Structure 1
Amino acid sequence: MIILLLGVIYSCIGFVHAQVGIRTSSPMGVFHVDGAKDNPTGGLPDASQVSNDVIVNKTTGFIGVGVSAPKVKLDMRSAGPENSLGLSTTTMSAVEAGAGAVRYDAVNIPVGPKIEVSDGVVWHKAYIAPQKAVIVARKVTGQSIVQGTATNITNWNVVRDMSNSFDGASGIFTAPRNGTYTFLFTFNFTGAVINDGSRVESQFYNTTTSTVLASVYKTFGQSMTGTADDANATRSTQAGGSSTVTLTLTAGTKVVTRLWHNLISSGSVPLRVTTNSTDPTNPDDGFNNLTIIEH
């Protein structure tokens, strides 16, 4: 009986210090599951083989999901691509769940999918700020605007587009989300003999609904067509200006900047564009620009 009892005690002590391996003969922790059963029979598995394992560290008790040496109580930062964490909802109050609890919620106000964190008193919606749209573009290729025809300004040189929401070739901006956007547009034409009382109109045009969302115009009242006020001399002048509008847009709304003018009686007037876009000191550089900012 004494020998049998000693044997049982020895077995229990050995079990306490044992490492348990499931589908692996070489456990790397106090508990090790080789999910795909792809670990080597001898030696250590590589990062790809560990990526489908679950390991409990024998010293800290930390759990590694696809991680051989977990650094926190639950470490999922494996070499594999499937490292998402699945959460579900709970009807527990923030007090019951305790500070630091996290839940997925799509029912409570505001209704809709969201992650919430308890501070021990209330659930707070976790908010991640999106990358706001900031567009900076300039014209470095020539374009003529036909008299009396609203013309889309195209072929922009995109200097900055943090949200990939502006197509420089077509000049179309697509609102990435519901929100408020400010458009700043500057323009300048080459010299021409312009009509007295002529007008240039900047338009911000919805290409989907074919409607003008906003327009700003500038008039030119000085006659340069050979009147007595100008000493009977016919001279050319440059028409230009700037427009700033703020629009409330829904996600997916497409807006293009257009110009309309009646500066001359017929024909077209070119925009004043540099012939050397690599030279910032060029006197024709920087007159036609577009900036869009999401608030």
Structure 2
Amino acid sequence: MKRKLIYFLFLLTGNCIFMHAQVGIQTSNPQGVFNIDAAKDNPATGTPSSAQQANDVAVTAAGNMGIGTTVPTNKLHVNGTDPLRLQGVGTGSSSTDPLLVIDGNGIVKNIGTLGSLSIPSPAVFRLETAQSNFLQSQGAGGSQVVPMSVIKNSIPGMSYNAATSTITFPAGTYQITFVYEATHNATGCTISSYFVDFPLNATTSRIHNTASHSEGTLSNHGGTITYATTVPANKTWTISLGRGQSGNCSGAGMLLSATSTQVLVFRIGD
């Protein structure tokens, strides 16, 4: 029993020093209610320097804990070079999980999800094989599917069916740009008119593009049609290009160019 008591007293006097309800480990001058001086370099009196605090852990009467500082200003205050490492963190959701940022004072804060911040996320689709006699069987108002491949899709929840050229959207606000390049060498073909039926909520919205060009061999023409829209969750849209009302080109002869015919989709917010 005496040995146990002596050992207990040794622990108290050899490793921990109690002063007015303050606990110091390896220091006789604890800063706050609890202070570990790992390097045992704190002064016997007064406040440790910044270099001396760098190896300390301290808890104040307010319940703040400091690592690398004996005067923590927050519930957890870490002071040091590259002070935080989290290993084994799981994968989150960019559509539902909030983002963390650090303000000018080093305070960690939540600023919402990517969607709420309206940071654009892109998806790119491209025509890989040129389409000969495109829209040959379509009159004004008719359209034809453009069989594109997905080049990049960084929009969470968006999927693409390459067999049907159909995009399935998560709910949100989007900017969609249809870029096309073609040639049409039919006699009398000097005005090309095309349209895209963009998705809009439960319906579509038709946007035209009309341009004049030279007649004859290698009569190149192209255009860009852009639209901003909102869609509900699981809205589908098949990539198609239609023949507008204002052109004078018809029948065989149109070649829809590969690579330069693309669709760019940007999710710009919730």
Q: What TM-score do you get using the length of structure 1 for normalisation?
A: 0.45
Q: What TM-score do you get using the length of structure 2 for normalisation?
A: 0.48
Greater share of residues in strand? 2
